[in-house]
């Protein structure tokens, strides 16, 4: 209720300051942000065209060229969560009526199809059951049949925990004159991704998984061929258009996600498009800076190690895992909920008694698996061992038959092997 002077007089209704409970986020993302990223995000704002800000933007572009392993000039942040990156890429690449091929192997393949359809594409899909991936030959056969303008495929799909191998698809797309887009939101920095070496035209991501940041920014990169396709529909909006600026009869169907304008916004023209989400840029820049400082190969290896320890740990408890393990992402595992155990109740006890969050699941896997992540700031030995110990305790209380000490014990064995390998690198006598 407001007083006559407009002041809030019922103080009891004023919410408390934000003070979230301590949580260890071991689900499929988001995860706890690296404190260094949060510190970068608490820095004061500067003006949009302050030289400090434009320098941060240019540095961010260069850092993400390193992260994506590309020399693409157009490597930038789309403001919004990972889905914003996907929408920007697809709405800018697809002209209504374009044929698009989407291989679907989980929830996020369905999302690509949905967004492509909303962009007015003629969408063709191929599908495999959740937990499996496609052979490159299957995708090539579909390309030959459909003759799409664009192949849009997810790399790591957290809904199923498997990653589609991409290394052969770029050459196939190039051979058939198809642009190649991939969503690496869940896999970037925890699994190998080679944008240029694999011939990928467009890659979009997010911060909240292996990059150890909060969601809200979508690092993305665009090859010269993709840029050519996008800028062919360039149309500068009326209020900022100058003599000689491009206008077309069929512009990109979103203003906010119009990459042709966004390229000019990040480039030397500094076109006045949106107001950059400065705080998110600080965070995204710090995520990339930390990753480059660690070394991308080292970060991938860290995710492989802790992901292997978590996998060995849940198996050591006697639990079964879901999906094709030969294609499992390093950073997440799907654990079958044992017969007779209430999956939501177990997740609830982990959260309430231990402050640990693990993930539920969607679609055909709903109620059948938990998803446990080891990613970004939480890809660490202490988080893996704590989660396994807590999971064992909660499962035993739920009456499940688990191997006592089997989870932590199996993970410790993985770590012991890794420690031995560090002490005695190959070629050095032990």
Ligand X SMILES: Cc1ncc(COP(=O)(O)O)c(C=O)c1O
Binding residues for substrate: 371
End-to-end alpha carbon distance in the chain: 75
Q: Report the site for ligand X in 128-157 (rule: CB under 6 A).
A: 154, 157
Cα separations in angstroms, 212 against 185, 318, 374: 12, 30, 11
What's the gap between Cα 1 and its chain centre?
Answer: 43
Residue among 29 and 406 whose Cβ is closer to ligand X: 29
What is the x/- site pattern for ligand X, positions 87-126, by CB under 6 A? ---------------------x------------------
Q: Is 25 an interacting residue with respect to ligand X (CB under 6 A)? A: no
Q: Report the site for ligand X in 173-202 (rule: CB under 6 A).
A: 183, 185-186
Query: Minimum CB separation from ligand X for residue 87, in Å?
Result: 9
Query: Minimum CB separation from ligand X for residue 306, in Å?
Result: 18
CB proximity list for 419: less than 8 A, separation 6 or greater:
none
- State the number of binding residues for ligand X (CB under 6 A): 13
Query: Minimum CB separation from ligand X for residue 187, in Å?
Result: 7
- 3-state class (DSSP) for residue 287: helix
Distance between CA atoms of residues 318 and 311, nearest Å = 11
H or E segment and range at residue 35? helix 35-41
Cβ–Cβ < 8 Å for 402, 392: yes
Known binding-site positions: 371
The pair of structure tokens assigned to 329 is 């992402």
Query: Minimum CB separation from ligand X for residue 258, in Å?
Result: 19
Residue among 111 and 337 whose Cβ is closer to ligand X: 111
The phi and psi torsions of 131 (rounded to 5 degrees) equal 105, -10
Residue among 287 and 402 whose Cβ is closer to ligand X: 287
Query: Minimum CB separation from ligand X for residue 371, in Å?
Result: 10
Query: Minimum CB separation from ligand X for residue 85, in Å?
Result: 8
Query: Minimum CB separation from ligand X for residue 179, in Å?
Result: 19
Residue among 128 and 390 whose Cβ is closer to ligand X: 128
Cβ–Cβ < 8 Å for 98, 149: yes
Residue among 93 and 385 whose Cβ is closer to ligand X: 93
Number of neighbours of residue 419 by Cβ within 10 angstroms: 11
Residue among 287 and 411 whose Cβ is closer to ligand X: 287
Residue among 209 and 347 whose Cβ is closer to ligand X: 209
Distance between CA atoms of residues 255 and 224, nearest Å = 22
Q: Is 158 an interacting residue with respect to ligand X (CB under 6 A)? A: yes
Q: Is 215 an interacting residue with respect to ligand X (CB under 6 A)? A: yes
Enter the DSSP assignment of 273.
-
Distance between CA atoms of residues 270 and 293, nearest Å = 29
The pair of structure tokens assigned to 214 is 């909060």
Find, among 251, 16, 226, 253, the residue nearest to 119 by Cα: 253
Q: Is 220 an interacting residue with respect to ligand X (CB under 6 A)? A: no
Find, among 415, 334, 380, 396, the residue nearest to 24 by Cα: 380
What is the x/- site pattern for ligand X, positions 53-92, by CB under 6 A? ----------------------------xxx---------
Query: Minimum CB separation from ligand X for residue 263, in Å?
Result: 22
Number of neighbours of residue 427 by Cβ within 10 angstroms: 5
Among 148, 206, 316, 343, binds ligand X (CB under 6 A): 206
Residue among 162 and 226 whose Cβ is closer to ligand X: 162
Interface with ligand X by CB under 6 A: which residues? 29, 81-83, 108, 154, 157-158, 183, 185-186, 206, 215
């Amino acid at each position: 209720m407001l007083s006559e002077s407009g002041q809030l007089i019922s103080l009891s209704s004023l919410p408390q300051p934000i003070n979230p409970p301590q949580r260890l986020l071991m689900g499929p993302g988001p995860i706890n942000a690296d404190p260094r990223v949060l510190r970068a995000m608490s820095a004061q704002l500067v003006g949009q065209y302050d030289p400090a800000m434009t320098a941060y933007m240019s540095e961010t572009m260069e850092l993400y060229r390193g992260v994506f392993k590309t020399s693409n000039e157009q490597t930038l942040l789309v403001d919004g969560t990972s889905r914003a990156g996907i929408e920007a890429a697809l709405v800018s690449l697809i002209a209504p009526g374009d044929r698009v091929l989407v291989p679907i192997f989980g929830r996020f393949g369905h999302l690509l199809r949905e967004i492509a359809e909303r962009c007015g594409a003629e969408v063709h899909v191929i599908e495999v059951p959740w937990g499996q991936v496609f052979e490159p030959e299957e995708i090539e056969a579909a390309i030959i049949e459909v003759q799409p303008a664009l192949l849009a495929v997810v790399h790591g799909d957290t809904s199923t925990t498997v990653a589609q191998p991409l290394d052969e698809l770029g050459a196939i797309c190039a051979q058939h004159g198809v642009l190649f887009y991939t969503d690496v939101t869940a896999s970037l920095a925890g699994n190998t991704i080679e944008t240029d070496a694999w011939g990928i035209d467009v890659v979009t991501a997010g911060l909240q998984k292996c990059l150890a940041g909060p969601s809200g920014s979508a690092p993305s990169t665009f090859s010269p061929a993709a840029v050519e396709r996008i800028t062919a529909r360039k149309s500068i909006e009326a209020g900022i258009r100058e003599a000689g600026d491009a206008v077309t009869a069929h512009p990109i169907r979103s203003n906010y996600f119009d990459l042709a304008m966004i390229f000019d916004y990040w480039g030397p023209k500094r076109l006045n498009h949106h107001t950059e989400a400065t705080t998110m840029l600080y965070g995204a820049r710090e995520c990339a800076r930390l990753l480059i400082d660690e070394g991308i190969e080292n970060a991938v290896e860290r995710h492989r190690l802790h992901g292997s320890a978590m996998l060995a740990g849940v198996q050591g408890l006697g639990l079964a895992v879901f999906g094709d393990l030969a294609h499992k992402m390093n950073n997440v595992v799907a654990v079958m909920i044992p017969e007779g155990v209430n999956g939501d109740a177990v997740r609830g006890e982990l959260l309430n008694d231990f402050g640990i969050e693990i993930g539920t699941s969607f679609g055909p896997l709903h109620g059948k698996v938990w998803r446990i992540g080891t990613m970004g700031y939480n890809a660490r030995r202490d988080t893996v061992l704590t989660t396994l110990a807590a999971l064992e305790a909660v499962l035993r209380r739920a009456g499940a038959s688990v191997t006592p000490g089997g989870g932590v014990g199996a993970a410790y064995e993985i770590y012991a092997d890794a420690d031995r390998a560090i002490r005695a690198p190959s070629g050095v006598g032990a």
